[in-house]
């Protein structure tokens, strides 16, 4: 087993402002230091300091296209990009204060969160991070989508995502593979933006959702190609799916040791794997878990 590292938090609060993709509402986020063992906790500052929901897989609400958390009526919405930033930078304990339910979409990636967190120092804490070592293959599927956790012999954490849009050649088939370290996350995954087909965006707007979002806020694909934007990586869509997966698996509250391979996986399937991995393999209570 990989030697567990010390838990980390940030040295001082740092803020990010923006608007929610789904609601269009302005939102202010404050990342704050937290004690060892607290894990990642979202606090609804607009409601009060007791309105809290821990970032744990069992609190994921069943909503499409994003990861929302809900506990005893307290909701934090679209948390996956912030969770990916915290996990990618190996920040284990953090209080995330928000004055609306939905996190800001920023540019559709984790880059704004990473830049904010990198603007302050991290602090090692006097406790080891909970470790989750995958020792046997675990596979979950939903129709043509599947996700699999595999053991590794080198003590690393790898994410591999296979994307397949067989009827939309503008996206087509892509794959991404990353060794999840802070350096590689910053450079190769954090800048990768969420994407949507133009017809999907139009359908959401008809439902009264996403009306404030423009093609400059994410990657939007028409039948002819990318609309009003440029790719940062040739396989940016697959890399973004890897980003989402990192954020969703951070709901384990553990340092993962293993190789995760996903094929057309969804947030729902990602969270199902997170719950299964905690049940099977965690040897220490996940961060934020109560005894």
Task: State yes or no: pLDDT of 1 exceeds 60.
Answer: no
What CATH homologous superfamily does 6-129 map to?
Answer: lpxc deacetylase, domain 1 (3.30.230.20)
- Give whole-number Cα distances, 150 to 61, 78, 141, 176, 274, in Å: 26, 27, 15, 17, 13
Distance CA 248, CA 267 (A): 7
- In the sheet that holds 40-44, the strands lie side by side as 14-19, 26-33, 94-98, 40-44, 52-54
If DSSP codes are grouped into helix, strand and coil, which group holds residue 274? Answer: helix
**Residue 113 pLDDT exceeds 90:** yes
pLDDT at 290 over 70: no
The residues spanned by each domain of the chain are: 6-129
Residue 162 has pLDDT above 90, yes or no: yes
User: What are φ and ψ of residue 229, in 5° steps?
Assistant: -160, 175
pLDDT at 211: 85
pLDDT digits (tens, 9 = 90+) for 269-283: 999 999 999 999 876
Range 161-185 average pLDDT: 96
- Token pair of 98, please? 């928000």
Query: Which residues are tagged catalytic?
Result: 267
Nearest CA to 236 among 110, 145, 64? Answer: 110
């Amino acid at each position: 087993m990989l030697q567990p590292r010390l838990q980390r938090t940030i040295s001082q609060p740092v803020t990010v402002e923006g608007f929610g993709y789904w609601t269009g509402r302005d939102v202010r986020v404050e990342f704050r230091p937290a004690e060892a063992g607290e894990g990642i906790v979202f606090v609804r500052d607009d409601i009060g300091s007791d309105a809290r929901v821990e970032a744990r897989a069992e609190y994921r609400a069943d909503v499409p296209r994003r990861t929302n958390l809900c506990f005893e009526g307290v909701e934090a919405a679209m948390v996956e990009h912030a969770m990916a930033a915290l996990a990618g930078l190996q920040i284990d304990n953090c209080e995330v204060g928000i004055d609306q339910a939905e996190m800001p979409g920023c540019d559709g990636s984790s880059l704004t969160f990473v830049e904010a967190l990198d603007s302050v120092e991290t602090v090692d804490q006097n406790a080891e991070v909970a470790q989750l070592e995958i020792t046997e293959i675990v596979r979950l599927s939903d129709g043509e989508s599947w996700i699999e956790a595999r053991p590794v012999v080198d003590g690393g954490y790898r994410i591999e995502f296979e994307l397949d849009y067989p009827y939309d050649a503008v996206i087509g088939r892509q794959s991404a593979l990353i060794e999840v370290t802070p350096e590689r996350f910053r450079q190769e995954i954090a800048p990768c933006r969420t994407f949507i087909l133009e017809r999907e965006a139009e359908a959401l707007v008809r439902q009264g959702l996403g009306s404030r979002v423009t093609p400059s806020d994410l990657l939007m694909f028409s039948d002819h190609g990318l609309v009003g934007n440029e790719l940062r990586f040739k396989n940016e869509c697959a890399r973004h799916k890897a980003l989402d997966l990192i954020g969703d698996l951070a709901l384990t509250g553990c340092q993962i040791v293993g190789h995760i391979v996903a094929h057309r996986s969804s947030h729902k399937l990602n969270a199902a794997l997170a719950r299964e991995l905690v049940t099977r393999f965690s040897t220490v209570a996940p961060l934020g878990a109560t005894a």
